[in-house]
Amino acid sequence: MYNPLACVIAFQDNPNTMARNINTRTMGGGEGAKVEALSFTGVSKASLELDP
């Protein structure tokens, strides 16, 4: 039998040592661009950085 609580890993984080980055894939809409609209070309990449 599958127990989802057995798969949980608990940890305490410190917001001062953690950073979250989100990088989007875009095209168009450069600085000063008034004609071309900004469009997303793919899924965003999210990452977490933990300092020791």
User: What are the sequence ranges of the domains in the chain?
Assistant: 12-50
Q: pLDDT by residue (tens digit) across 1-44?
A: 777 777 777 777 777 888 889 988 888 766 665 667 778 888 88
DSSP letter, residue 32:
T
Residue 18 confidence (pLDDT):
84
Q: What count of other Cβ atoms lies within 10 Å of the Cβ of residue 26? A: 13
Closest C-alpha among 6, 7, 5, 40 to residue 23: 40
Q: Considering only residues 16 and 52, tell me which one the structure prediction assigns the higher pLDDT.
A: 16
Q: Which residues partner with 49 through β-bridges?
A: 19
What is the model's pTM?
Answer: 0.43
Token pair belonging to 18? 């953690």
Confirm if 18 and 49 have CB atoms less than 8 A apart: yes
pLDDT at res. 34? 65
Question: What integer pLDDT is reported at residue 49 of this predicted model?
Answer: 86
β-partners of residue 21 are 47
